[in-house]
Amino acid sequence: GPPLPIEGRLYAMCELAGDIFVICLDPDTGKEIWRQQLVAVESGTIDRDAIRRVAGAMLSYQDGFLVCPTGAGALVALNLGDRTLRWGDNYERNTTMSRFVQGRGVVNTDQLLQRWFTGTAIISDSSVLITPVESDRLFGLDLITGRALFTKKVRLEMRYLAGIRGDKFYVVGTNVMKAYTLDDGSLAWKTALDVFLPGQ
């Protein structure tokens, strides 16, 4: 994914020899300043992982924490102050996509689109929401501790996490939009089935 500018530095994730790193770059020269390993990729390198190749992975930043969605079944939080890993969370990959990574099938365009459109974490205060492109679930976690707040299996009809406003977050699908409460992930409301029909 694209690099994230923070206080005169650029931060991005990269894969080197089967390991995923956060890398810090000088924005004037592009030279590496430092790097920190996040995870070792067990599901296959990026050249064999169609989802990671097309979806990208972008960092998010809040209160000194870099939240890093690796695209490889793990989410990691890095403390920029001392460059230490604060917490990590593993989750199961979409079973269909896992078959392609393991070389047991050929992925087509329609199958690649059956995923979350973006896996970038959205952060509000101490709440982290993420829809990993390689998973069918939406995860809510505590920014400081990584403690799970809730997990929602909503991807089958939804496409992307639109954002957080107040005490609710919003998820958009092909023909429906839903609002959930931020504290426990319960459904607050959803649009009528015909709200996105032409002429409505």
Res. 189 pLDDT band, cuts 50 70 90: very high
* Contact (Cβ atoms closer than 8 angstroms) between residue 93 and residue 104: no
Q: How far apart are CA 195 and CA 174, in angstroms?
A: 11
Please tell me the pTM assigned to this model: 0.83
pLDDT digits (tens, 9 = 90+) for 98-143: 555 445 555 556 655 667 888 899 999 999 999 998 888 999 999 9
- Of 51, 46, 43, 42, nearest to 13 by C-alpha is 46
